[in-house]
Structure 1
């Protein structure tokens, strides 16, 4: 019998394991009352903010800048920002917040040394590429997610080819901290039912408990246990709205030792008791 090679004996033409997460992608503002109160960009995200028409201002990490039409602002994870414009001349902006997981890092873009602001040489081309994504996002069909992913990656390729940001050399330590906090979040999300201590949590990502608590708050804006309680309450809300588990069973499934404690902090978080929340949100059985 002659030997027939399996397909895995053939050399790969290419291989790319890319993960894409997008918080927002769209055209915004355009009305007098528009503004964004002081906020912090999530630590693993990178935001592109392009002024399509008129002008606006931004205060980023305490520094005020005026952005004109054609300016592209880059906001990195952890940056604080606030936006506003002249109500008499409202601007229009194109904004994106995304993360590209590639090569084992949570966001490859954060390893690039972007300038804070660019004045685009071909603004019409940028807008045209952006609108291609908006068109796909407005479409329907069984392959919509795949089409949107491809369109966003094509747009991002266009941006990177025009900006050509080099690999960063000075922020690797900071980005390593972000990666560890993201790993810590994933570790906790897989153990919400369990009793989680700061010591065990920080040990899971090889950090000192005090340092872990400090950088966790810096990157997420929440103390570790406050963040953990929020995730548990979100899970409790999902269970109350989609299952018929009792409040005691929900408490146990979400890592709360006492159902009365769950009821108290649930009402504090959502402004309504668990049983009332269930009555308003429970999905009917199919």
Structure 2
């Protein structure tokens, strides 16, 4: 059902956090997270009220969109990775699944703190990246096994009808194709296609493409020193001013502020 299992690694690091990490949900939580605590402990309070204790010995896969509050009373040293699935169906399946997954770190001895911390950086080795990618997909598979979300998607005629458009958007989201072009791919009237897309994925095609551009922007701001104008061009925007305005609308802060905050432990 899902052909694209690629994950985009937005940011990663190996940091020690303290009480300043205690905060309500913020734009840095708009992703999925992998945590490997090494020392100390902290916790995440989820939207449903469940409290997840983060402590050494386990790997934690967390749906950051559902984090209500992050709390660290003393200190925690942790290797962390922020990522998003490139596939919108996979993302929606995870949204309909458990808030988090916990696995014993001993079961994955090759997944080291250093591998997690460096996984979003361009200099990371291929074997390390493949190891982290494989682990995440294994954890995601375990989450989906406990959910009936996949069967709901598989049996949804609306999803099956418009699914081919997703592959097209994943290739051309920087070009911002018109609605008529997308609808023609599945032989539907533009307005009807738009309603069906929103019904299935709880977002519009244009918001989906914008979210893809913002994910790319987050990745470039976190892992490179490119100036804002060049990042704007890489993300499909004609000028840095308009890009900065859209970025602030989506993430609540200007690109340079976001980059500065990513240098601090409160962003993990």
TM-score if structure 2 supplies the norm length?
0.51
1:33 equivalenced with 2:20 (yes/no) = yes
Q: What's 1:283 paired with?
A: none
Query: How many equivalent pairs are there?
Result: 221
Greater C-alpha Rg: 1
Q: What's 2:129 paired with?
A: 149
Shift of 1:182: 4.6
Task: Report if aligned partners of 1:56, 1:83 keep a CA contact under 8 Å in 2.
Answer: no
Match among 13, 17, 40 for residue 54 of structure 1: 40
Higher relative contact order (CA 8 A, sep 6+): 2
Q: Deviations over 1:30-52 (max 9, x none)?
A: 2331246334544xxx5333444
Shift of 1:216: 5.8
Task: Report if aligned partners of 1:217, 1:223 keep a CA contact under 8 Å in 2.
Answer: no
Distance in 2, matches of 1:135 and 1:49, equals: 10
Q: Deviations over 1:107-131 (max 9, x none)?
A: 59958x97545565x5456576323
1:131 equivalenced with 2:113 (yes/no) = yes
Task: Report if aligned partners of 2:116, 2:132 keep a CA contact under 8 Å in 1.
Answer: no
Q: Deviations over 1:174-213 (max 9, x none)?
A: 5986967853633642634x6x2x4543554666312434
1:65 equivalenced with 2:51 (yes/no) = yes
Match among 194, 205, 209 for residue 209 of structure 1: 194
Distance in 1, matches of 2:127 and 2:17, equals: 28
Unaligned 5+ segments in structure 2 are: 221-227, 249-268
TM-score if structure 1 supplies the norm length?
0.48
1:201-240, aligned counterparts within 5 Å?
A: 201-202=182-183, 204=185, 208-213=193-198, 218=203, 223=207, 237-238=229-230
Q: What's 1:22 paired with?
A: 9
Change (3 A) 1:173 1:114: closer
Q: What's 2:79 paired with?
A: 94
1:171-210, aligned counterparts within 5 Å?
A: 171-173=150-152, 182-183=166-167, 185-186=169-170, 188-189=172-173, 191-192=175-176, 196=178, 198-202=179-183, 204=185, 208-210=193-195
Change (3 A) 1:54 1:160: same
1:243-258, aligned counterparts within 5 Å?
A: none
Two-structure CA RMSD over aligned residues (Å): 5.6
Structure with the higher helix share, 1 or 2? 2
Unaligned 5+ segments in structure 1 are: 1-16, 243-253, 257-261, 272-286
Distance in 2, matches of 1:239 and 1:137, equals: 21
